[in-house]
Structures are given as structure tokens and as C-alpha cells.
Amino acid sequence: MAETRYTKDHEYIRIEGDTGTVGITDYAQGQLGDVVFVELPSVGKALTKGGEAAVVESVKAASEVYAPVSGEVVAVNSELEAAPGTVNEDPAGKGWFVKLKLTDAAELEGLLSEAEYQDYVKTL
């Protein structure tokens, strides 16, 4: 069964086996406003935990999306090129950015659970 973990920077990673799907949370898309462009890494790129995984541009500003854990990019959501607004409409579903093959599953331990993240958002 898939489990989703969160960062305090509002990224999520949905774990299925040894891969994880990375995106930004509904709270984050709300803060960003209308997403007009997403810059994605190339497949095969090695990302390190906390490093840049993608860049999201809203009408107003550019924001970096960080890798919640280290891993190799095995897929990117190229549909976002034509339809960046999907990040606003369905951030946890069709609005994902990259899929990572995890290099150190132990890094997941430091991330927030769904309940912990929801509690954290309430404090903002």
C-alpha cells in the first residue's frame, strides 16, 4: 500500500516499493497561486535530499521544489509542459513532478506523516 510522507517545505513523496512520486501539497499550490510553468529535471538525474528537484513558476514568482529524499529520476510528468495548471487542480494526483528510485530509504524516517503535516500546516 502506498504511503505518503511530507516535508516542512510542502513537498510530498508517495512511496510505492522502492520508488516515490514527488509533488507539492495542496497548501503549497494555494500559496503559489496560478502555476504557469514547471521546469523538470531530466530522467536519469541523481537528486540529493534537499536539492533542487524542479522549479515552479507562478504568475508572480519562481519557487524551487526540493527533493524530499535522495534518488534517481526515473520519470517526469511531461504533461505539465502543456498544462502547468494541473499543479493547482490536482497537486496530489495528476499534478506530480517526478518519480524517484530511492537510494536511501532510511531518509524517509525524517519526513512528516500525513497527520503530522496537517498539524504543521495548521500552525502556519
> Considering the complex, what minimum distance in angstroms separates the CB of residue 88 from other proteins?
9
Residue closer to other proteins (CB basis): 18 or 81: 81
| Residues 75, 40: Cα–Cα separation, whole Å | 10
User: Nearest-5° angle of CA 84, CA 88, CA 90?
Assistant: 100
Given a contact cutoff of 8 angstroms between Cβ atoms, the answer to whether 36 and 57 are in contact is yes
* Cβ distance to other proteins smaller for residue 12 or 102: 12
CB of 62 vs other proteins, minimal distance in Å: 6
Whichever of 61 and 106 has its CB closer to other proteins, that residue is 61
Residue ranges that bind other proteins, judged by CB under 8 A: 9-11, 24, 28, 31-34, 36-37, 39, 55-66, 81, 84
Strand partners, 21: 14, 99
What sign has the CA pseudo-torsion 58, 82, 30, 66?
A: negative
Nearer to other proteins, 43 or 59 (CB): 59
